[in-house]
Amino acid sequence: MGSYTLDSHNVRRYVTPDSHVQNEGDIGISAPRPYEIACGSIVPKKAQCPNLLVPVCVSSSQIAFGSIRMEPVFMVLGQSAAKAACLSLDREMAVQDLPYDVLSTHLLTDGQVLKMDDPHMISSRKMRGEVVDDRQAKFIGGLAGVCCKQAIY
Amino acid sequence: MGGWQGSAANRPYIDSGYRHNGNVEQGQKSALFETKLKPDRYEVRLSYPPNRNRAENVPVTVIHMADSRMIRVNQRENSPIDGVFISLGQFEFGNIAKVEVGTGETNGYVTVDAVQFLPVTE
């Protein structure tokens, strides 16, 4: 699982036509809660390489990797990859053939967290009547969710 | 910095997070909550995550039938109903219900999270 902000730093610095220096290419948007990282994102296709696990250069978008790229997440992915490798060796099978159920059972026994419900979340689905969340609201006066490295309020 | 910004920094909120107006451009921004309803009488409730930096005078307008009523909400105070909602009153609605959260002349951050339309059972 990961939880860090979707955080990619400036790509370049340039001078605008009116001679101001401007940073370009930064994004920083917080993740509302921890999220799951799919096991498949560290397992290459079998036809490409049957016995390789990739716990750091995972298959993800650049934006998602801006959040995944934290040491604790790499530690979790590393533990998962090592466990998958050991179980595959014991069974003399390619890492791609190891059933996820087998891996997840071992990871849970070792104390890894594979899912997390937000204990504070209040779900509109459990409420009476009609509930309209801000995700369904219409916002006037600028785009919703556009921000850049700000203090949180 | 313009626009409405998403956040999950303060609690409580319904579903995933809420938005705030950045405490700038007062009067230029608003948020409209709209839904279809079975024509009936409903209690309208607004949820918001309170904080000391919020506006004390958020203009919230309930648009019902051919009429509308504006209520000022103090978003610094804890929400009175279950710590989540404040009641805006009871209204008769036709097929469509609208609630608009404005930012005009507000004295702090304006947040929008969710609106509940609760059928009033006699």
Residues 41-60 of B with CB under 8 A from A: 42, 51, 53
Q: Model pTM?
A: 0.64
Alpha-carbon gap: A49 to the closest alpha carbon of chain B (Å): 39
pLDDT (0 to 100) of residue B43? 97
pLDDT confidence tier of residue B122, bands split at 50, 70 and 90: low
| Ramachandran angles phi, psi of A101, nearest 5° | -55, -40
pLDDT at B2 over 80: no
Is A121 domain-assigned? Answer: no
The pLDDT assigned to B1 comes to 47
Residues of A in contact with B46 (CB under 8 A): none
Which parts of A4-153 are beta strand (E)? 6-8, 12-15, 21-24, 27-29, 130-133, 138-140
Give residue-wise pLDDT tens across range A21-63.
999 888 888 887 789 999 999 999 999 998 999 999 999 999 9
Determine the average pLDDT of the residues in B99-116.
96
pLDDT at A153: 61
This model of the complex carries an ipTM of 0.93
**How many C-alpha atoms does B32 have within 13 Å on its Cβ side?**
10
pLDDT at A151: 45
Question: Mutate which of B7, B11, B15 to disrupt the A interface (most A C-beta within 10 Å)?
Answer: B15
* Count of structural domains within chain A: 1
* Interchain CB distance below 8 Å, A133 and B25: no
N residues, chain B: 122
Domain assignment present for A143: no
Q: Is residue A28 included in any domain, yes or no?
A: no
pLDDT greater than 80 at residue A8? yes
Within a domain: B58 = yes
Report yes or no on B32 lying in a domain: no
Q: Looking at residue A147, what is its pLDDT?
A: 45
Closest-CA distance, B87 to chain A, in angstroms, reads: 13
| B87 contact A CB<8A | no
Residue A55 resides in a domain? yes
Specify if A120 maps to a domain. Answer: no
Q: Which domain holds residue B49?
A: 44-122
Two tokens, residue B5: 């910004």
Residues of B with Cβ-Cβ distance to A151 under 8 angstroms: none
How many domains in chain B? Answer: 1
Residue A18 within any structural domain of the chain: no
Please tell me which residue of chain A has the smallest CA distance to B53. A153
* B43-81: pLDDT as tens digits: 999 999 999 999 999 999 999 988 999 999 999 999 999
**Residue A28: count of CB within 10 angstroms of its CB:** 14
pLDDT in tens, A66-79: 999 999 999 999 99
To the nearest whole Å, the CA of A55 is away from the closest chain B CA by: 29
pLDDT digits (tens, 9 = 90+) for A110-149: 999 999 877 667 889 889 999 999 999 999 885 444 444 4
- A100-109 helix and A71-91 helix, angle to the nearest 10 degrees: 120
Q: Which domain holds residue A71?
A: 34-112
Helices (H) then strands (E): counts for chain B: 0, 10
Q: Which has the higher per-residue pLDDT, B119 or A147?
A: B119
Instruction: With respect to residue A24, please indicate whether it lies within any of the assigned structural domains.
Output: no
Report chain A residues whose CB lies below 8 A from the CB of B28: 141
Q: What is the pLDDT of residues B5-40, one digit of tens each?
A: 888 888 899 988 899 999 999 999 999 999 999 999
Q: Is the link from the previous residue into B12 a cis peptide, with omega within 30 of 0?
A: yes
Count the Cβ atoms, other than its own, within 10 Å of residue B37: 16
Is A141 in CB contact (< 8 Å) with chain B? yes
Q: Report the gap between the CA of A121 and the closest CA in chain B (Å).
A: 6
To the nearest 10°, the Cα dihedral for B49, B55, B57, B59?
-70
Pair A79, A112: CB distance under 8 Å: yes
Structural contact between residues B4 and A144, judged by C-beta atoms closer than 8 angstroms: yes
